[in-house]
Structures are given as C-alpha cells and as structure tokens.
Chains A and B, each alone.
Chain A
Amino acid sequence: MAEKPTLAVWKFASCDGCQLTLLNCEDELLAVAERVSVAYFPEATRAVVAGPYDISLVEGSITTPADAERIQEVRAASGMLITIGACATAGGIQALRNFADVSEFLSVVYAHPAYVATLDRSTPISAHVTVDFQLRGCPIDKRQLLEVLAATLQGRKPRIPTYSVCVECKRSGTTCVALASGSPCLGPVTQAGCGALCPKFNRGCYGCFGPNDTPNTASLATRLRSEGMAETDVMRFFRTFNAAAEPFRVESTAHEHSVAPREGVIS
C-alpha cells in the first residue's frame, strides 16, 4: 500500500472556526486520520512533519507583510492548496478595512499603533498564490469539507453546488422569508452550502457563503430599496463577511454615496 497522503492545516487572519469545523467532524475525525497523515495542524497537535504536503487546508486572509511572505512558502510546500472559509476565499470580515482608513482603525483599537505591522487591505489567498479549490462559508459547512477531502483523496472534482440559497430553500420546502414576512434576504445572490439555515430559523440569509455563480445583486438591491430599506442599510447588508467578494463589493459601493454625515447625532 502506498504511503498515506499528508495533510497540513494553516492559519492566517481568522477566528479558527473553519479549522475547528474539521475537529467538529466528531463521527468522521478518526476515520479521516486513518486516510491521511496529519503532518501539520498546530491547533490539534505539537507534532510537525516536514513538508512538502500533499493537501494543504488554508484558513484566514492575508493582512500583514509577514503573512504575504508566509503564504508563498505554504504554496511552495503544498500539492493541493484548498482555502477554507470566507476569510481565505474572499478576505473575510477583516476586509471591512478595505473600505476605510486603517491608520484610524489602528488608533481606535491599539494604544501604540506603531507596534502593529498590518497591511491596509485584507486579501484572499488567491490574490497571492494559485489556489486549487476554494471552499466557501463563514464558517464552512462540515459536510462540504468532508466532500472536498474525499474528492481530493479520490482524485475527482468536489461536488460543491454554485447555485443560490433559494434552490436549497425550495428543495427543503422552507417558506420564503422574503415573500412571506418581508425579511431582507441575500439568499437569491448567495451561494448554497449552509442548507438554507437562516430561512429555516425565520430570518433572511446574510450571505455567509458569498456570491453565487450568477448573482443579480442590482435587482435584489432595487427590491430591498422598494420595500423601504435605507441606502446605508443596503450598503451594510452587502458588506459583512464577504464584503470584498467582487459582486458584493460592487453592490455595496454603489450604495455608499448616500451615507449621511453622522456628526452631531448624539449630544
């Protein structure tokens, strides 16, 4: 029998939730560990096996000069490089800095901004190196993660749908929250994968999985406006965990100009 393929898990700017999803595969974790050799996964083990690695899972976005160099080393040491989650795939929540002045952010949070090395933009892994597969989600879905790992081990393409959350919603027989209760919902422009989770909990989708394959964001924005949503609220609606994903970035920016100045609001 050939040697087991090696798996490495890397972290950049992120919350750890996507790599935790791997540890959350309680029923499958030990089976996965039998099929691959876990060669680098600091959150789970001190053991470090030197690269190269057959499969690298990369969590987090690039936000510091040091990380921009480190991702090059990770790419060079990896066979298949798979990004896991919205940060690695689209820049994540950190990409809210892309719309603002980072030096101001620094002074809000840190007493000594000069000590903090940071870039003015949060960028996805694919902006720096070639990525073999990008798994969406904030966080990723564990069934999709297992499908990507299984497909990679079997040498086939992962079966990950790129249609919208609406398809999942209809298939599961979930009532449309946008039509039935007027909840603002990004489902029509968001990629499936979560199992239409928010509509099942009586709320509109908020876009964790990023834009689907054919997102008509302008049409959705027009509808939201016609139902009374303010321009700034439309802007913020598209600007959360996948704010820098291109269709969402373009749409949120289109609603930016009308942001009213906020000084003098509070006495």
Chain B
Amino acid sequence: MTHKMTSGSHVLSVEMLARVEGEGGMHVHVQDGEVRDVHLRIFEPPRFFEAFLRGRAYTEPPDITARICGICPVAYQMSACLAIEDACGVAVPDEIRLLRRLLYCGEWIESHALHIFMLHAPDLLGYDGAIEMARDHRELVESALRIKRAGNDLMTAVGGRAVHPVNVRVGGFYRLPTHVELARLRPQLVAAREEAIAAVPIVSGFEFPDFDQPYLYLSLSSEHGYPMESGTLVTTAGLTAPVSAFGEHVVEEHVAHSNALHSAFDGQPYVVGPLARYTLNYASLAPLAREAAEASGLGPTCRNPFRSIIVRTVELIHALDEAIRLIDGWRGAPMAAVPVPARAGEGHGATEAPRGLLYHRYRIDDAGTILDVQITPPTSQNQSAIEGDLRTFVQANLHLSHDELTRQCEVAIRTYDPCISCATHFLDLDVEHL
C-alpha cells in the first residue's frame, strides 16, 4: 500500500496505544498535505477522585490518591501530604523529608527502569515488547529487571510494598525503617547503579530524529538537590514562584479546533517531566549522573523528546546514587511522624513524579473534612505538547509511508511516558470511537 500522504485525505490512527500506562489511542487527520486535526484519544473510563475525596477526612488522601496510579503511587502520596500539611500550617522535620526522598528514589528507579528498558527500548531495537526483546537481548532485559527490582525493594523496605505503599501518612510515616533494613538494600543499589551506568552507551547509541522543540519547561527546583520531594516552581522563561502560585499560572483553556482542555502556563503550551527537570536542574545532578550525561553526548539542556530515554537513564543513575547517599547518611529520626492538627484552610503541594510535576490542592474545614480538591497530573499538563509534537512531526514527515508514519507517531507519544490512568481526570475525553 503506497498512497502518497501529500495529497488527498488520510487518517493516521492507532486504536490502542501499547506500552503506555492506561488506555488511549491516537487520531491524526491529514488533508492535501496539511495536518488538520490531532487527538490523543482517551478511552480510559473516568474515575472521579476529586469527587470521592469531598467529605472524607484530611488524613485519607495519601491512601486514596495512591490508587490513581499503580506506577507512581508515591508521587500522589507525597504531593497529597505536602498540600495537607501546608493547609494545616505544618512543615515536617528534615529527617522525615529525607526519608520521603529515599522512598521517592525507589519509585523513580522502578518507574524509569520500566520505561527505559521495557516500554521505550523495544521501539529503538525493533521489537514489539520487552518479552520479545529478551529472546535476542536476554542480558539487557535481565539487567533491567535487576535495576527495577532494586527500586521495588527500596519501596518495599521504606513503604511496605511497591504498589500502593502503606507506610506513608500526613505528617510522616507510621514506622521508621531500621538501620538493618536500609543497610541490606545497599549492595543491590550499588550493583544497579553500575548496571545503569553500563546502559548509557546503549541508550545513547540509538539513532534519534532531529526534533528539538521550543516548549516552555516547568519543573520544581530545590535547595535540597535535584528536585523530587519538594521545591518551588521554575520555568525556562526565568520565572520562579512558590507552589501556591501554580493556579495563577496554569490555566486550562478551550481550543477552537477540539473539545480538549489544554493546560497552558501563562498562555503558552508547556512541558513537565524528565526533559524539563534536566534542563532546569542540570547543575544539581549528582557528579556520577553528570558524568553519564557528558559521556552520552547530552549537553546541559535537552529539547528533543526522542532523546528522553537518555535523560531518563541519567536520572535513573542519579536516583540510585541519591538512594545510596541517603542510606549512608541516615542517622534515624526522633519520631516517625509529627502531629498535624486539622485547621480550616487551603494548602498546595507539588512534587516531581517520574513523569513530571504533580500538583495537589486541598481545602479543609476545622474538623479536617475535605471540602474541595484539585489534582493536576503530569500527563494532562503535557497533552498539548504531545499533540503539538505529533502535528509538527507528521507535517515534517509526510514523505514516509502511512504505516511507518503511524508507527513513528506511536513512538513519539511513548517518549513522554504518558500515564493515561493518571490523566483521566482532565484529558480530552474523545468518546467517538473512530
């Protein structure tokens, strides 16, 4: 089949995107060589978390919002805790922040290892998935599984389990890990760090299309190092703002050509996630991670989403290195959690989920009953940029065959590691099944 994409009407369509979290599809309409319409289609059913939370107790969101996403539950727990503590006027002591950061490292390691090796690499090596890839590249897949396991074991030690950890509460934790529990993780993390460093030449050796994009980047920036569990808002436009100002800058807009709600930052499309974090926080990467970035040929910024696999690998090395550093420096804490008495008010919290900035806002009453909730996950913030990328990419590659262009669009979407389960609160709900 060789129709020319440059004339007539063409629809590039993927019914079910594979190797993404959740269920979505893609629809691109090309008319006479002009891209007319681009949709990331979401048919993941709506799940109403903001509504469920109304009327619940202010202590419940860490457990309830974890269930938004099985891949990044810690991110939901961390942003929820920060927002509720902010509403109650409590800041947790540094030991608790450090333990949160350690738990978060586990989630970054697990999630990034999954995406780099099992969801993204098969595209670059020409396989349908990691299981098929393992037939020819068994060592690579086994190494990936060992790295992933180091992250899961860290989450299990600190959080109780890898999916929906039980040990997180508003104010801190239910129980502190023992020195022995943490020390046991060290050899595995050190080995995983070596294996992640060894993967740098592999992931940077792939061919990537030239596709630098001009988007505004948004991430947290933190005095405590590369941003994870805390920080303030920064953008590549030079803006610095407290997390409480998120709602003043981020507006969801209606766009004339579609019914999608598109997030915009001060009126511009923007991107959150590894590329944004890396570009805005290169200087705070651990020395080993920066060496890996240099060895891979990345500069201090990265604007090509296809190269995100390299950035994720650099962040993976950083998270492994950081986890080892935190374990080595752990001196215990006087208490597992601090009291957080309820008071009427509103609080904001943002942390860096593996896929990017995750914002929560809660309004509670004096008794601690939740009155109103807003949750803005990374994938819904990136939706405009993903659609913008597809538009630009298809327009520039109409010389490719229909099938090849469709496949490449699917690859482009996967480079963002979209989490559709998370994003169903806000993403364009296209109920029309084409």
Contacts and interface: CB of A to CB of B under 8 A. Distances in A.
B131 interface: yes
A202 B175 contact: yes
A74 to B, nearest CB: 14
B204 to A, nearest CB: 24
Contacts of A262: 55, 365, 369
A116 B427 CA distance: 11
B361 interface: no
A138 interface: yes
Given A26-B149, A30-B142, A108-B54, A93 B67 contact: yes
A206 B57 CA distance: 14
B36 interface: no
B166 A265 contact: no
A146 B32 CA distance: 53
Interface stretch (B98-106, B157-165, B296-304): B157-165
Q: Interface range on chain A: under 10, 10 to 19, 20 to 34, or 35 or more?
A: 35 or more
A232 to B, nearest CB: 9
Nearest to A111: B261
B70 A17 contact: yes
B152 A24 contact: yes
B130 to A, nearest CB: 7
Given A15-B67, A266-B371, A118 B46 contact: yes
Given A46-B128, A111-B261, A16 B70 contact: yes
B52 A93 contact: yes
Interface in B113-130: 114, 118, 122, 128-130
Main SS at interface, chain A: loop
B134 interface: yes
A194 B110 CA distance: 20
Interface stretch (B17-25, B193-201, B239-247, B271-279): B17-25
Interface string B54-65: 111100100110
B145 A47 contact: no
Interface in A196-231: 197-198, 200-203, 206, 208
Nearest to A25: B145
B333 interface: no
Given A30-B141, A197-B161, A112 B132 contact: no
A21 B161 CA distance: 11
B367 interface: yes
Interface residues of B, number: 76
B54 A201 contact: no
Contacts of B410: 46
A252 interface: no
A197 B175 CA distance: 12
Given A44-B130, A64-B45, A203-B174, A26 B51 contact: no
Interface centre among B23, B163, B164, B166 (most CB of A within 10 A): B163
A109 B71 contact: no
A139 B160 CA distance: 12
A76 B123 CA distance: 32
B366 A266 contact: yes
Contacts of B431: 115-117
A38 interface: yes
Nearest to A104: B51
B18 A42 contact: yes
A24 B142 contact: no
Given A13-B47, A96-B52, A116-B431, A45 B163 contact: no
A183 to B, nearest CB: 9
A17 B57 contact: no
Given A44-B118, A45-B131, A110 B46 contact: yes
A109 to B, nearest CB: 5
A15 B131 contact: no
A108 B55 CA distance: 13
Given A13-B45, A46-B128, A24 B19 contact: no
A238 to B, nearest CB: 13
B83 interface: no
A33 B259 CA distance: 42
A27 B70 CA distance: 20
Interface in A1-55: 11-21, 23-24, 26-27, 29-30, 33, 38, 41-47
Given A26-B146, A30-B138, A16 B22 contact: yes
A265 B365 contact: yes
A66 interface: yes
B284 to A, nearest CB: 30
Contacts of A64: 45
A181 B380 CA distance: 42
Interface centre among B52, B63, B261, B410 (most CB of A within 10 A): B52
23 contacts: A13-B47, A15-B69, A15-B70, A16-B70, A16-B421, A24-B148, A24-B162, A24-B163, A44-B118, A44-B131, A45-B130, A46-B19, A46-B129, A67-B45, A108-B54, A110-B46, A118-B45, A138-B164, A197-B166, A201-B160, A203-B166, A203-B174, A233-B57
Interface of B: 16-23, 43-52, 54-57, 60, 63-64, 67-71, 73, 110, 114, 118, 122, 128-132, 134, 138, 141-142, 145-146, 148-149, 152, 160-164, 166-167, 169, 174-175, 252, 259, 261, 336, 344, 363, 365-367, 369, 371, 410, 421, 425, 429, 431, 433
Closest 5 CB pairs of A and B: A17-B70, A45-B129, A47-B128, A105-B51, A26-B149
